[in-house]
Amino acid sequence: MARQMGLTEAALQKAVFEGDTADLDEKTRLALEYARRLVEERETVDEAFYERLRKVFDEAELVELGVFAALCIGFDTLISTWDLSPGVCTIE
């Protein structure tokens, strides 16, 4: 069963779009940084960064986090090629 980090949609939006992570714990901030680095600057996900991750995540959590991030990145890449009109995939 997946671990619940307690990240609300509002806190995620605030962190992603405003860069405000003050309300997040260290583990959540680091997970978001990992995901951002994988998308924007994957060359910085080096051994030094993995050492930072290992201070707050165990190996199983790192694998789970990495696989989940990779799946999301892959789906985002695929969906971006579909030329969807706004409102096609709305969440209600």
**Residue 27 burial (C-beta neighbours within 10 Å; 0-12, 13-18, 19+):** middle
Residue 68 lies in a domain: yes
Torsion angle of C-alpha atoms 51, 53, 56, 61, degrees rounded to 10 = -120
The greatest distance separating any two alpha carbons of the chain, rounded to the nearest whole angstrom, comes to 43
Residue 89 lies in a domain: no
Structural domain that includes position 32: 9-79
Return d(Cα 40, Cα 19) in angstroms, integer. Answer: 15
Residue 3 lies in a domain: no
Residue 90 lies in a domain: no
Residue 37 lies in a domain: yes
Q: Along the 92 residues of the chain, how does pLDDT read in single tens digits?
A: 455 556 777 877 777 777 777 778 889 889 989 998 999 999 999 999 999 999 999 999 999 999 999 999 999 888 888 877 766 666 55
pTM recorded for the entire structure: 0.72
Contacts of 72 (CB under 8 A, 6+ apart): 35
Residue 85 lies in a domain: no
The tally of domains found in the chain comes to 1
- Looking at this protein, which amino acid is placed at residue 66? G
